[in-house]
Amino acid sequence: MKKLINSLIVLALVGTAISCSNSESGGKSNKGALASSAAEKVYVAPGEHDEFYAFMSGGYSGNLTVYGLPSGRMFKEIPVFSQFPTSGYGYSEETKPMLNTSFGFVPWDDAHHPDISQTNGELDGRWIFINGNNTPRIARISLTTFETEEIIEVPNSAGNHSSSFITENTEYVVAGTRFSVPIPQKDMPIKDYKSNFKGSLSFISVDPEHGHMDIKFQLMMPGFNYDLSHPGRDKSHGWFFFTTYNTEEANSLLEVNASQNDKDFIAAVNWKKIEEYVNNGGGTMMPANYAHNVYDESTHTATTTMKKEVLTVDPLKVPGAVYFLPTPKSPHGCDVDPSGQYIIGNGKLSADLTVHSFDKMIAAIEAEKFDGEAYGIPILKFEDVLAGTVKSGGLGPLHTEFDGKGNAYTTFFISSEVVKWKLGTWEVIDRKPTYYSVGHLMIPGGNSRKPFGKYVVAMNKITKDRYLPVGPEMEHSAQIYDISGEKMELIYDFPTHGEPHYAAGCPAELLKNNAKKIYRLDENKHPYAITSPDQAKVERKGNEVHIYMSTIRSHFTPDNIEGVKVGDKVYFHITNHEQDFDVPHGFSMIGQNSSELLIMPGQTKTNTWEPKKVGVWPFYCTDFCSALHQEMQGYIRVSPADSDIELSWSLGED
C-alpha cells in the first residue's frame, strides 16, 4: 500500500517536474519574426473590438469573468455565487436573497462550468449557466444585462461538479453529484458509505421564454463520484453522458483507494425516456428544502422561495434509461463531438483516450449485449461500444474540444500539453506544450454542433514563472493558440482571475448588438424608486428611516438630512436618474457595515446603515461621474436616541 501511495505521489508531482523543464523553451520559441507575427495576431488596436467573447468560470472566486479573444483582456467580472463588494452584490438589500440557501446565507461558492444556451445544438446567446460546486447550485446569467438573474439550489447533491451542461435546445440544464451522500441525509457511520450513499443527477428544466429553472427530476444513481458530463447532440440528442470515478466507493484516501479499478464508467442516461416516464406520473416525490432565488429586472430586486419537495427517479424503474460504458483509468472529461457520434472519456491516469461510438452503443443496447450490472444498471461491453483509442503518447488527459473541421483537441495535465487528433482515424496530428499543467480548454462553440475553430484557449493550473512574480499567491494562466492551420501556434499567455474551470466562447456578433446599455427609468418598478428628484423624501417608520434618494450629475437629492437618531436603521434607497450609457453613480456612507452601492442608470439599489454615534456624517458618490464628481457629497446629522429633532431634508439650502 505504501508503495502505491509513493507511486501516486510521483505521478502527481511529475507535472511540476515536466513544467520546469519546459520553462526554458517557453520563452525562446516566439522571438524575432515569429513574435512579430504572433503580436499582430493577438493585438486589438485601440478602438477596435475582439472577435470572440470568452466566459471563464472564476472557480474559487465564485464568479464568471468575461474576456475578449484574441486579446485576453477581461471586460467584466460578473458576481454569481460570491459577495462582490465592488457593486454591492450580496450586500445590497435587493441582491442578498440571491445567496440564500437551505443552509442560510452562503457568501461564496466554487463556480466551475459555464455553458451558453443553445437552439438546435448551436449557441443562441440568450443565457449562460454556471454551477456552484460546494453548496450545490445552478445560476443563470442574462447575456443582455450580463448579470445573474437566477440561482436554484440543488438538494440531495454534494460537490455539484458534473454540471452545468445543457441539452441542445436548452430543455434542461444538468447538475450531477460529485460526492455521494446519504439521501435523505442521516446520521450514519462514514465507513458504511458503500451501497448506502447515493449520487443524484438532476435535470433542471429551463423555461423557453424566460429561462426560469425548475428541477424536473433527480435520478438516484449508485454512490459513485459523477465528475463531468455533456449532452448528446444531433443523432444522440435525448441522451446525456456522465463520467464516474470512485466506482470503488471508497470514503477515505481516495487518491489511493479510488484508483484501484482498471475501469470506471461513463453513465449514458436517456433523459427523454425518463422525461416521458415522469410526464406519465412516474417518480417519487420526496420532501426536500432548497432555495430558488430570482432577480426581477423590473423591480431590480431578488426574492427567495424555499421549495419543499423534489421528484426522484429510481433508474431501475425506467428500463432502458441508464447504461454504463466501461472507461479506463478514472475518467475525468466527458465530451461529445459535433456530430453526436463520439463520446470521449479521458482517463486521467491513462495515456490513451477512449472514444465510444453512439451507434455502437445503441446497437449493443438493442442486442442486449451486457457485461453484468452495477446496482442493477446494465454494463455494456467495452469492446462493443468502443469506436477507437487515441494513442496519444501524453499523460493525464482531461478534456476535449472540437474545431468543427473533424479535429479534436485534448488537454494533458501531467505531460502539460494540448494534443490535436483526428476524429475517426484517431491519429495524432500535432501537439504543443502548455505552461504549465493544463486543465480545461475552450474553442468557442467547441462543445456544440457548430464550433468556431479559430482559437483554442488552454486554462493552465500552474503559473510559476510565466509572469512577473507577485508573492506566493498568483493568478492562474491561460494560453491562446491559433488553430486555423494544420499545426497549432501558441500566440499569447494571459492571466485569469480566480481559477477558470472551463469556459464558453462565442463570436462577438452573437451578443454585441443585444447588450443592454441602461435600465429605463419608466420601467423601474422598484417599490422605493422615485421617478424624479423632486419626489425625494425621507420617511420614518418606528426606528426605520427610509431615504428615497436621487442621483444625477453631480448631486444627491437630498444632500442634507437631519432627524436621524442613534439606534435607527437607515435605508438608503438610491435611484440613479441618469439615462445615458456608462454613467453609474456610487453611494457610500462613512462607517457603514456594508459595501458601497454601484447604481446603473435607471436602477434603484438599497443598503442600510445603523448609526452608533451622534455627529454629522458624510456620504459621497464613489464613481467619478463628471468634472464636479468631487462635489457630489452630503451629510446626515445623527442625534441621540432620545432627541426630538424632526426628520428634515434639503438640497442647496446652505
Window 269 to 328, contacts with its own copies (CB under 8 A): none
Contact 484, 443 (CB under 8 A): no
Residues 544-603 that bind its own copies (CB under 8 A): 553-555, 559-560, 562, 580-584, 586, 588-596, 598, 600-601, 603
**Phi–psi pair at 60, nearest 5 degrees:** -70, 0
Q: What is the rounded distance in angstroms from the CA atom of residue 239 to the CA atom of residue 201?
A: 13
What is the per-residue binding string for its own copies in 612-651, x denoting contact by CB under 8 A?
Answer: xxxxxxx-x-xxxxxxx-xxxxxx-xxxx--x------xx
Output the smallest distance, CB 209 to its own copies, in A.
20
Output the smallest distance, CB 503 to its own copies, in A.
15
Output the smallest distance, CB 29 to its own copies, in A.
8
Q: Which is nearer to its own copies, 5 or 285 (CB)?
A: 5
Provide the grid cell at 47. 478602438
Contact 160, 131 (CB under 8 A): yes
Write the CB contacts of 332 (distance below 8 Å, at least 6 apart in sequence). Answer: 227, 228, 243, 245, 346, 347, 348, 397, 398, 399
Contact 231, 174 (CB under 8 A): yes
Residues 497-516 that bind its own copies (CB under 8 A): 497-499, 501, 508, 511-512, 515-516
Q: Which is nearer to its own copies, 264 or 384 (CB)?
A: 264
Query: Quick one: which segment of 86-94, 364-372, 373-381, 534-542 binds its own copies (CB under 8 A)?
Result: 86-94
Q: Which of 169, 256, 299, 307 binds its own copies (CB under 8 A)?
A: 256
Output the smallest distance, CB 121 to its own copies, in A.
24
Residues present in the chain in total: 654
Residues 211-230 that bind its own copies (CB under 8 A): 225, 227
**546 bridge partner residues:** 539, 571
Query: Quick one: which segment of 117-125, 416-424, 470-478, 532-540 binds its own copies (CB under 8 A)?
Result: 470-478
Grid-cell match 463628471, residue found = 626
Bridge-based pairing of strands 370-374 and 377-380 is antiparallel
Residues 145-164 that bind its own copies (CB under 8 A): 145-147, 158-159
Write the CB contacts of 469 (distance below 8 Å, at least 6 apart in sequence). Answer: none
Opening angle at CA 408, ends 399 and 118, nearest 5: 75
Output the smallest distance, CB 244 to its own copies, in A.
11
**Phi–psi pair at 3, nearest 5 degrees:** -60, -45
Query: Quick one: which segment of 52-60, 205-213, 354-362, 527-535 binds its own copies (CB under 8 A)?
Result: 52-60
Residues 351-410 that bind its own copies (CB under 8 A): 396
Q: Which of 57, 62, 97, 411 binds its own copies (CB under 8 A)?
A: 62
Residues 441-460 that bind its own copies (CB under 8 A): none
Contact 236, 358 (CB under 8 A): yes
Q: Which of 18, 56, 57, 59 binds its own copies (CB under 8 A)?
A: 59
184 cis-preceded (ω within 30 degrees of 0): yes
Contact 535, 57 (CB under 8 A): no
For position 251 contacting its own copies by CB under 8 A, the verdict is: yes
Q: Which is nearer to its own copies, 170 or 251 (CB)?
A: 251
Residues 28-47 that bind its own copies (CB under 8 A): 28-31, 35-36, 38-40, 42-47
What is the per-residue binding string for its own copies in 164-203, x denoting contact by CB under 8 A?
Answer: --------------xx-xx--xxxxxxx-x---x------
Q: Which of 218, 312, 479, 606 binds its own copies (CB under 8 A)?
A: 479
Contact 168, 120 (CB under 8 A): yes
Output the smallest distance, CB 499 to its own copies, in A.
6
Q: Which of 287, 372, 471, 542 binds its own copies (CB under 8 A)?
A: 471
Cα-trace Rg, the chain: 27
Q: Which of 21, 517, 535, 543 binds its own copies (CB under 8 A)?
A: 517
SS3 assignment, position 108 = coil
- Dihedral of alpha carbons 207, 290, 271, 237, sign: positive
Query: DSSP string of 543-575?
Result: TEEEEEEEEETTEEES-EEEEEETT-EEEEEEE
162 cis-preceded (ω within 30 degrees of 0): no
